Amino acid sequence: MKIHINEKRIGWVFFISLVAVICIAKMLDKDDPLIDNGKLTTATITSCRNGRNRWAGNVVCQCTYFVRGKLYENRVDIDINPRNADTLIDKKIPVFYDSLHPEVSIMLITSRDYETNKLIRPDSLSWVDSLY
């Protein structure tokens, strides 16, 4: 039995595969504006409430921070014991924000926040570990 290989078809399959690989590589290599333009400042946790439900361990906290004299707000979902939520109010936490768009920010409080954003967590936030 003789198998006929269509060279034109193989050429097109190779070309499309190559284009797909290049596109995926460019998507993965795309610069993150928050990383490129990122700056650090300090936010104050102004309020906390239970997240999805009282037993899930989620707490949603409202934070405020200033950039160039303007006040910004953001929420952070923290996976801690809800009974400890009140201890977070008025605490200062680091905020990583986009200097070109300061409303785009990430509140950095848990170890996971630092690991996800490839940042080193300061020892001054070790008190958060006791809230789990």
Q: Left if phi > 0, otherwise alpha if psi is -120 to 50, otherwise beta: which for 90? A: left
Q: What is the pLDDT of residues 17-60, one digit of tens each?
A: 545 555 454 444 445 555 677 888 889 999 988 776 555 457 88
**CA nearest to 109, candidates 83, 72, 75:** 75
Domain CATH number, residue 81: 2.40.50
Q: Which domain holds residue 97?
A: 33-131
Mean pLDDT of 1-22: 55
Residues whose CB falls within 8 Å of the CB of residue 112, separated by 6 or more in sequence, listed in order: 79
What domain count does the chain have? 1
The dihedral over CA atoms of 85, 121, 98, 33, expressed in degrees to the nearest 10, equals: -130
> SS3 for 38?
strand
- Beta carbons within 10 angstroms of residue 38's beta carbon: 17
